Structure 1
Amino acid sequence: PGTGEINYDYLFKVIENSDYNGWVGCEYKPQATTEAGLRWMDPYR
């Protein structure tokens, strides 16, 4: 998160505005604690 080529804002808006009604999985590799590594998701909760 925060690096690479995925535009999460755009991607999650497209999913939200679609008829999709399932799970979305996100893979990550924390640099510190798990909690700190998942903070990137806060705006999407």
Structure 2
Amino acid sequence: VPALVADPFAEMKTASRVNTDNLQKDAASLMIACGLAMRSLDDATR
């Protein structure tokens, strides 16, 4: 069965000071935090 590792940052732009290697390595672990952050941005625009 084919599977993918989730990467919530795949289509996001990041600041130049962000260590992209570390972000890639920890991306799946940061899924909930990323989702909650995006949700708060969506709530702010309503």
User: TM-score, structure 1 length as denominator?
Assistant: 0.32
User: TM-score, structure 2 length as denominator?
Assistant: 0.31
Query: Which structure carries more relative contact order (alpha carbon 8 Å, separation 6+)?
Result: 2
Return the structure number with greater helix share. Answer: 2
